[in-house]
């Protein structure tokens, strides 16, 4: 692990491998450990940078409230700090919103996107305000049970991936979680995302109740030529539940876009 001090924020990150850059941004209430099962399955020839969003994991929270613009600036400054250009940026949930905003702002840094379980707009201001108030009053326990029910199908709630997600959720900072809720509540990327012209792969779990497939597809299809893949028997965190399939889809996309050499994505299931 390393720390990048970027003015008002310190970001915890992991930088491994050598080659074409791949940046990984996790979802709300999680941290960079969400990618641990996927990393060993990725091909050689990649420099993989994963990091904790502000207020999450080992990253700092400069203010009790933050904007999506601040989270996008964090990613921008981290990539500048690491001299990263022409990266593939993979964002899950909240990280997917950061990915969209960064691609709009800095096309020199981003050559392709993978958007997993995310959207151009998520929920309503009322929903996010209530969730922020809940964790500030009752801690992470106030939202954990319902969150896990949105992330996992009922039959998977006692699985190892669900327990891993629960551990991350309970390790999260309530203040960081609440600040991120405020950032999400004010974000609507439908117009800027529709202006993007770059390779995009959308991934969604068929049993995802947090960001249902139709919502993810709606965002992915804003970008001409984007591809969308549905992962069966998985929920909001396919990188935890089905890391082999997730890594295969990601590797296929990296090959198809020429980011690394190899075979592209397999045909879509009919």
pLDDT 10s digits, 234-267: 999 999 999 999 999 999 999 999 999 877 777 7
CATH superfamily of 2-256: Alpha/Beta hydrolase fold, catalytic domain (3.40.50.1820)
Q: How many Å is the maximal CA-CA distance in the chain?
A: 51
Of the candidates 90, 85, 19, 80, the one whose C-alpha atom is nearest the C-alpha of residue 50 is 90
Angle (CA) 73 76 77, round 5°? 85
Return the domain boundaries, the chain. 2-256
Query: pLDDT tier at 270 (50, 70, 90 boundaries)?
Result: very low
215: Cβ contacts below 8 Å, ≥ 6 apart: 119
In three-state form (DSSP H/G/I as H, E/B as E, the rest C), the secondary structure along the chain is: CEEEEECCEEEEEEEECCCEEEEEECCCCCCHHHHCCCHHHCCCCEEEEEECCCCCCCCCCCCCCCCHHHHHHHHHHHHHHCCCCCEEEEEECHHHHHHHHHHHHCCCCEEEEEEECCCCCCCCHHHHHHHHHHHHHHCCHHHHHHHHHHHCCHHHCCCHHHHHHHHHHHHCCHHHHHHHHHHHHCCCCHHHHHCCCCCEEEEEECCCCCCCHHHHHHHHCCCCCCEEEEECCCCCCHHHHCHHHHHHHHHHHHHHCCCCCCCCCCCCCC
What pLDDT shows up at residue 204?
Answer: 98
> What pTM, to 2 d.p., does this model score?
0.96
Question: Does residue 209 or residue 63 have the better pLDDT?
Answer: 209
The 10s digit of each residue's pLDDT in 29-83 is 999 999 999 999 999 999 999 999 999 999 999 988 899 999 999 999 999 999 9
* Pair 120, 222: CB distance under 8 Å: yes
The 10s digit of each residue's pLDDT in 98-148 is 999 999 999 999 999 999 999 999 999 999 999 999 999 999 999 999 999
Angle (CA) 23 119 244, round 5°? 50
β-bridge mates for residue 15, sequence order: 49
């Amino acid at each position: 692990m390393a720390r990048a001090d970027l003015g008002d924020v310190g970001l915890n990150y992991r930088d491994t491998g050598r080659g074409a850059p791949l940046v990984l941004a996790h979802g709300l209430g999680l941290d960079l450990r969400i990618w641990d099962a996927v990393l060993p399955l990725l091909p050689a020839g990649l420099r993989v940078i994963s990091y904790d969003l502000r207020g999450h994991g080992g990253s700092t929270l400069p203010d009790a409230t933050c904007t999506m613009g601040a989270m996008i600036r964090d990613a921008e400054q981290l990539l500048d700090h690491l001299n990263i250009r022409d990266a593939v940026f993979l964002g899950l949930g909240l990280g997917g919103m950061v990915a969209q905003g960064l691609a709009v702002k800095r096309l020199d840094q981003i050559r392709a996107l993978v958007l997993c379980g995310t959207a151009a707009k998520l929920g309503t201001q009322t929903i996010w305000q209530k969730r922020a108030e809940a964790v500030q009053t009752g801690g992470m326990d106030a939202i954990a049970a319902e969150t896990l029910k949105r992330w996992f199908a009922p039959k998977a709630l006692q699985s190892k991936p669900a327990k891993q997600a629960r551990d991350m959720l309970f390790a999260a900072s309530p203040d960081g979680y609440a600040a991120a809720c405020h950032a999400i509540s004010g974000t609507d990327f439908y117009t800027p995302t529709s202006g993007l012209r770059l390779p995009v792969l959308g991934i969604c779990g068929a049993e995802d109740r947090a960001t249902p497939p139709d919502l993810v597809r709606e965002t992915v299809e804003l970008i001409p030529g984007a591809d969308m893949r549905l992962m069966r028997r998985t929920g909001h965190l396919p990188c935890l539940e089905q890391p082999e399939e997730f890594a295969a889809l990601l590797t296929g996309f990296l090959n198809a876009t020429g980011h690394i050499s190899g075979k592209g994505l397999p045909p879509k299931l009919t």
